[in-house]
Amino acid sequence: MRKDQLLQVIAEWLREMVFPPLTHREMPSLDLRKQRAIMAIAGPRRAGKTYYLYQLIQDLMESKGILREEILFVDFEDYRLQGFGPPDVDQLFTAFQQLAGRQPRFLFFDEIQHVPEWNRILRTLHNRRSYTIVVSGSNSSLLGREIATELRGRYEDLLMLPFSFREALRFYQVTFDATLFHTHQRGRLIQVFDDYLQSGGFPETLVREGASEKRKLLQTYYRTIFYKDILERYNIKARPILDQMMGSFLESYATPFSISTFEKQLKAAGLTGSKRTISNYLHFLEEAFFLITSEKFAYSPRKRMMNPKKVYLMDTGFALLGGAFTENRGYLLENVVALELLRRGRRMFYFKGTHECDFILQEGRHPSEAWQVCWELTARNEPRELKGLLEAMRQFKIPRGGILTYDQEEVRTINGLKIPIIPVWKWLLLSGEEEKWF
């Protein structure tokens, strides 16, 4: 790689870079004062990882008194850095020394998955001197155990998703008081929640006006994931199968995905794909943060693997590219709950016996909570929702369970069990305060 290109990139960072307005993200705090530490922030494209790096850098400069000349920030999506690899690392630091007059103490590498052998580069830098290194990427390999093991406990990772509902409210400058949910606040909160449910939490979609503009933006995200994060990265030859698979998830999510059934659907469409191929593609879609999955609950890992996984979109906004909202709104609600559970670090499964339960949450070795999600409890669906919830609670001796709805709220006592019925928007806002309902 030409040195003048590296000099240009570094000069822009040192002399021209101005931080954009930042919305504070609700993320676990990182101690950037640790020496010889590597911290990785992984998550889907356009979820706000770059802005979070800016937030960390700004805090270093404003609160910790760190000079810009002590920080090296590199965005590896910059077209000028195409082809950057291990042989170019020394040249990068030489260029920084030339412009800053010193070596950096803090390294921020954005979208590092574009760099071949990025993990080897990190190990080399980690062993070389006392850098504090923060990296971001749009591939779940950054969350892997292998590199953490190799770096002997010096590696921390964080998952960054699109905005939570709380963060969306902060973005719109909507304040709320948990004690005032029954006043005029409620209407405004539900108004924002409706938009959040349909359009998702990608930061840029929040500033777009109208469903059409939001859909166009989400379509570009979808295409980028399809081409760059999956097709190119994994060198996929059977593009029509991937196209069919991703398209099917836009219309059928928050439901179990049967590999055998999908194989038959491919054959009916004149396509041939083995179960292994379909399974691999499902894994690639998870790696690229297009979707997340939950397994059917069982104590045996082997039994969990034998059953279909339930599939959720990484952002409900992608559903704008598929079916109609009115037909899928209950699934959208469940999808929002799944993403929030992931955000909270909960281990989630689904239950299927005589009846079904949407979420089984595990603490340690045992399930601790069971939750159903439906748009509205009606005379028609209430027996089904309650039977699934109670069956799961009885079978696995789960002490707590409830039902999440769009906007219904009450507490039932059934067979001596307290069953709260809670609006999803309220549950999203009262994170960590579930005890109050039981």
Do residues 56 and 132 share a domain?
A: yes
Q: Regarding beta strands 309-313 and 291-296, do their DSSP bridges make them parallel or antiparallel, or are they unpaired?
A: antiparallel
264 in a domain, yes or no? yes
Q: Of the residues 138, 160, 182, which one is the last residue of a structural domain?
A: 160
Question: Based on the domain organization, do 42 and 98 belong to the same domain?
Answer: yes
Domain range enclosing 153:
3-160
Same domain, 168 and 156: no
**110 and 174 assigned to the same domain:** no
What are 131-170's pLDDT values in tens digits? 899 999 998 878 766 566 666 667 888 999 999 999 999 9
Number of folded domains that form the chain = 3
Residue 412 in tokens = 């039932």
pLDDT at residue 148, rounded to an integer: 66
Residues 240 and 175 placed together within one structural domain of the fold = yes
pTM: 0.92
Structure tokens at 186: 């409620």
CATH of the domain at 113: 3.40.50.300
Cα gap 30→18, rounded to integer Å? 23
Q: At residue 181, what is the residue type? A: F
Residues 37 and 156 sit within 8 Å (Cβ to Cβ): yes
Q: 176 and 143, same structural domain?
A: no
Do 36 and 149 lie in one domain? The reply is: yes
For residue 218, give Cα distances in angstroms to 12, 50, 215, 336.
Answer: 30, 18, 5, 17
Same domain, 30 and 100: yes
Residue-wise pLDDT for 314-343, tens only, equals 999 999 998 766 567 999 999 999 999 999
Residue located via tokens 């349909």: 198
Query: What pLDDT does 325 receive?
Result: 61
Residue 190 within any structural domain of the chain: yes
> 177 with 310, same domain?
yes
What's the CATH number where 217 sits? Answer: 1.10.10
Supply 224's token pair: 């980028």
The answer on 101 and 15 residing in a single domain is yes
DSSP three-state, residue 373: strand
| pLDDT at residue number 435 | 59
Asked if 200 and 141 sit in the same domain, the reply is: no
Within 10 Å of residue 264's Cβ, how many Cβ atoms? 10
Burial 215-232 (b: 16+ CB within 10 A, else e): bebbeebbeebbeebbbe
- β-pair partners for 319: none
What is the rounded distance in angstroms from the CA atom of residue 51 to the CA atom of residue 311? 28
